[in-house]
Amino acid sequence: MTIPMHHADLERPDVPALLDRFGRPLRDLRISVTDRCNFRCRYCMPREVFGPSFQFLPREEILTFEEITRLTRVFAGLGVRKVRLTGGEPTLRADLPALVRMLAAIDDLEVTLTTNGSLLAHQAQALADAGLRRITVSLDSLDDAVFRSMNDMDFPVQLVLDGIAAAERAGLAPVKVNAVVRRGVNEHTLLDLARHFKGSGHVLRFIEYMDVGNTNGWRMDEVVPGREVVERISAAMPLVPLEANYRGEVAQRWAYADGSGEVGVITSVTEPFCGDCTRARLTAAGELVTCLFASHGLDLRGRLRDGSSDADLVHVIRGVWSQRDDRYSEIRSAATATLPRLEMSHLGG
């Protein structure tokens, strides 16, 4: 694998780049603040696995806000510039704006959030007031019947749209809207989504159905390639390609030819982008994970609670990242299909 060495544009002059074995810098940290979710989307938390008897993490095993903030400061000292709060569903975590406020106080750090939007109408203003900079909302279809079926909680699409509108009023626009595309499930509703958000100022992104975890029943024939999504949209509303905004941007960007906005496609299955991956993940239980398709992580919570100093944490994180050689999407094959993987709800996407 050839990795382009053009990471200088993301470096902070006061923080030497921490590079992995393929020259990829550590720049982004995704933090799962809870392993719980109020949806049961089949590509993430299917009901037959995550049912009433499923044992979620007890409260004492989840990182406190103070522990999350301390670890984030350590990561920021190693070059992290952007933090994304995820879950499960992060807005289920009590008093989430307090955590946002704590993280937003860290110098030169952008705090963002990914949510299913179900509680956003009630929380958007408080999150923005606390210092949240940007927000991404998952919305897989505008067809109410399809959406209710996909979230498997009979949750109506209008309440998510209300959440997006609340985020816009709170100053969190443009909102990024993510739609996972699954053949035979919702690909027939792609144009409806594109038409709805065209000209809105928000950015719609279509994500290929991925083989994250071991419980979502992933099959390659249910993946709708990103290039097919672009062809479908462009046939109705012509698109032209755009350059990436920065190294490590996961979406391929396309603009409407009439200048009325843009869409993106995230193609980790058909056109992997491991070569530019700058992301580390921190699970709700405090494990450091270096790939979305990882089978395990490194326990940082235990080190925090056993009295490790910040210097100790820096040493451990440096050691993990400098030895990182993850590139699952580039080596995906029949040989990798049976490898155990952490669940999406554990990792936070």
Task: Give me the DSSP letters along 123-192.
Answer: HHHHHHHHT--EEEEE---S-HHHHHHHHTS---HHHHHHHHHHHHHTT-PSPEEEEEEBTTTTGGGHHH
Specify if 313 maps to a domain. Answer: yes
Q: 305 with 274: CB under 8 angstroms?
A: no
Q: 141 with 43: CB under 8 angstroms?
A: no
50 burial level (CB within 10 Å; 0-12, 13-18, 19+): buried
Specify if 298 maps to a domain. Answer: yes
Alpha-carbon gap, residue 112 to 202, rounded angstroms:
15
Give me the CATH number covering residue 158. Answer: 3.20.20.70
Count CB-CB contacts under 10 A for residue 307: 7
Place of tokens 């030497």: 16
Specify if 155 maps to a domain. Answer: yes
pLDDT by position in tens, the chain (length 349):
333 333 333 444 456 789 999 999 999 999 999 999 999 998 888 899 899 999 999 999 999 999 999 999 999 999 999 999 999 999 999 999 999 999 999 999 999 999 999 999 999 999 999 999 999 999 999 999 999 999 999 999 999 999 999 999 999 999 999 999 999 999 999 999 999 999 999 999 999 997 665 555 557 778 999 999 999 999 999 999 998 877 667 889 999 999 999 999 998 887 776 778 899 999 999 999 998 767 779 999 999 999 999 999 999 999 999 999 877 665 665 555 555 545 556 566 5
Alpha-carbon gap, residue 345 to 349, rounded angstroms:
7
CA dihedral 134, 266, 91, 123 (to 10 degrees): 40
Specify if 176 maps to a domain. Answer: yes
**Partners of residue 162 on adjacent β-strands:** none
Alpha carbon separation from 131 to 31, 106, 111, 201 (Å, rounded): 16, 11, 7, 21
Residues 6+ apart with CB under 8 A from 319: none
**Structural domain of 246:** 8-347
Q: What is the pTM of this model?
A: 0.89
Specify if 1 maps to a domain. Answer: no
10 burial level (CB within 10 Å; 0-12, 13-18, 19+): middle
Specify if 244 maps to a domain. Answer: yes
Specify if 236 maps to a domain. Answer: yes
Specify if 150 maps to a domain. Answer: yes
Alpha-carbon gap, residue 210 to 151, rounded angstroms:
16
Q: Domain total for the chain?
A: 1
Count CB-CB contacts under 10 A for residue 276: 19
Q: What pairing do the DSSP bridges indicate for beta strands 203-208 and 239-241?
A: unpaired
Q: 22 with 1: CB under 8 angstroms?
A: yes
Q: 178 with 160: CB under 8 angstroms?
A: no
Residue 214's pLDDT is 57
Alpha-carbon gap, residue 239 to 253, rounded angstroms:
10
